[in-house]
Amino acid sequence: MADENNSNGGSSGKNGRVGLVERVTTGVKEDIQALKTDIPTKAKEQIDGLKDPTKTQVYTSIFRHKHDDTPRNRALGVLSNVFLHLHPAKINRDAVRYSYTWGMGGITFYLFIILTYTGVLLMFYYHPSKVQAFRDVLYLEHDVPFGKILRNMHRWAAHLMVIGVWLHMFRVFLTGSYKKPREFNWNIGVLLLVFTLLLSFTGYLLPDDQLGFWAVTVGTNMARATPLLGHEGPFGSMLGMTPYNDVRFGLLGGSIVDANALLRSYIWHCIGIPIVASVLMIVHFWRVRKDGGISGPAPVMLEAEADKPRRGPKAAGE
């Protein structure tokens, strides 16, 4: 036993080493032999798998349902997508009519996305300080690649958004869509209208040119006259309001439109109001669904039915 042990691994190390080398070489040879058959089969499997990429694990992990043209898949395409699941799977056949909806709410939201995107890009080139701000805009207009169209898009999208919000409100009013059960959502909408105007207004000052400066001066001068809280407003001076502690001072961070006003404007424009508006938008969209989808086009109601219950089996035309 001891001899055997010795001959195998101990003093006769040379023999043992040869054995190891042999074993390794035969092993490697076996591996190569196996590879010659394994690789082609695996490769074939791989290529076969690529012929139908929708069956790969990566694909099925991203898209969690099939794409055959079945009603179920059409519904799942909307419901299992985080960006689309705001929609129901099905809607009233008339609710897609553009002449009724005008599409202004959606367009406004799309413009908000464009504005966020272009706005973030603009922020890379802009310092909200009196020394830099105007030069940054010049730099953006003349030196930054596509800087001019970036700024133009941001400005015009903002104007379009204001118009879009107005037209959206106009349509919602004309179709009586603020009526029961959508009263609260109308209120959220009014707040969003106000925030849209404020977003646009705070952005007006940022180029730090004559146009923005005087527009914001005119705009915030009104705050001087706020009753009770402005130093020129009714009862303001009685409450101890001066140009240095009234509501206008709070808005501008000073008694004139200057560096602090620029910074405040910037922060409200880029951070403060977008966050608040986004939260309100979430509520707004969510409430559209919870209040029963968009209001119509609903079946017309007659005078005689006015005071009957709107919902339930007795509802008109249902």
Partner 1 sequence: MDWRQLWEICSAPDNVPIVGLIPLLGFYIYLAVKQARANDQLIEQLEADPAMAKTHHRKTWPFKPGWAKEVHVWPFLLRIEFLAAIIVTIILMIWSITLNAPLEEPANPNLTMNPAKAPWYFLGLQEMLVYFDPWIAGVVMPTMIIIGLMVIPYIDTNPLGSGYYTWKQRKFSISTFMFGFVILWVAMIIIGTFIRGPGWQWFWPGQTWDHNRLIYEVNRDLPDLFGLTSNMAKAVFGGIVVVGFYLVGGGAVYSLFRRKMQKDFQRMSLLQFSLMAFLWLTMIALPLKMALRLLWHIKYVWITPWFNV
Span 298-317, contacts to partner 1 by CB under 8 A: 298-304, 306-307, 310, 316-317
Q: Output 261 or 270, the one with its CB closest to partner 1.
A: 261
Q: How many residues bind partner 1 (CB under 8 A)?
A: 110
Rounded least distance, CB 311 to partner 1, Å: 11
Q: Output 51 or 64, the one with its CB closest to partner 1.
A: 64
Q: Enumerate residues 198-217 that contact partner 1 by CB under 8 A.
A: 200-201, 204, 207-215, 217
State which of residues 41, 174, 312, 313 lies at the interface with partner 1 (CB under 8 A).
174
Q: Enumerate residues 105-134 that contact partner 1 by CB under 8 A.
A: 106-107, 110-111, 114, 134
Q: Cβ-count burial of 69 within 10 angstroms (0-12 exposed, 13-18 middle, 19+ buried)?
A: exposed
Rounded least distance, CB 48 to partner 1, Å: 31
The whole-angstrom separation of Cα 200 and Cα 162 is 8
Q: Does 269 bind partner 1 (CB under 8 A)?
A: no
Which contacts of 145-153 are long-range, i.e. CB under 8 A and separated by 24 or more positions?
150/118, 150/121, 150/122, 151/122, 153/114, 153/118
Q: In this structure, are residues 169 and 193 in contact, taking their beta carbons and an 8 Å threshold?
A: yes
Helix H or strand E encompassing 101: helix 98-101
Buried b (16+ CB within 10 A) or exposed e, 121-131: bbeeebebeee
Half-sphere exposure of 101 (CA within 13 A, CB side): 17
State which of residues 28, 34, 123, 256 lies at the interface with partner 1 (CB under 8 A).
256
Rounded least distance, CB 58 to partner 1, Å: 23
Q: Output 49 or 106, the one with its CB closest to partner 1.
A: 106
Q: Does 91 bind partner 1 (CB under 8 A)?
A: yes
Segment near partner 1 (CB under 8 A), from 6-14, 25-33, 58-66, 149-157? 149-157
**Residue 141: which residues within 8 A CB-CB, separation 6 or more?**
147, 148, 151
Rounded least distance, CB 269 to partner 1, Å: 13
Q: Does 295 bind partner 1 (CB under 8 A)?
A: yes
Task: State the DSSP code for 240.
Answer: T
- Residue 245 identity (one-letter amino acid): N
State which of residues 93, 124, 240, 312 lies at the interface with partner 1 (CB under 8 A).
93
Q: Which two tokens stand for residue 124?
A: 């890379």
Buried b (16+ CB within 10 A) or exposed e, 36-45: eeeeeeeeee
Q: Output 30 or 94, the one with its CB closest to partner 1.
A: 94
Q: Does 263 bind partner 1 (CB under 8 A)?
A: no
Q: Output 137 or 273, the one with its CB closest to partner 1.
A: 137
The whole-angstrom separation of Cα 318 and Cα 315 is 6
Q: Output 77 or 253, the one with its CB closest to partner 1.
A: 77
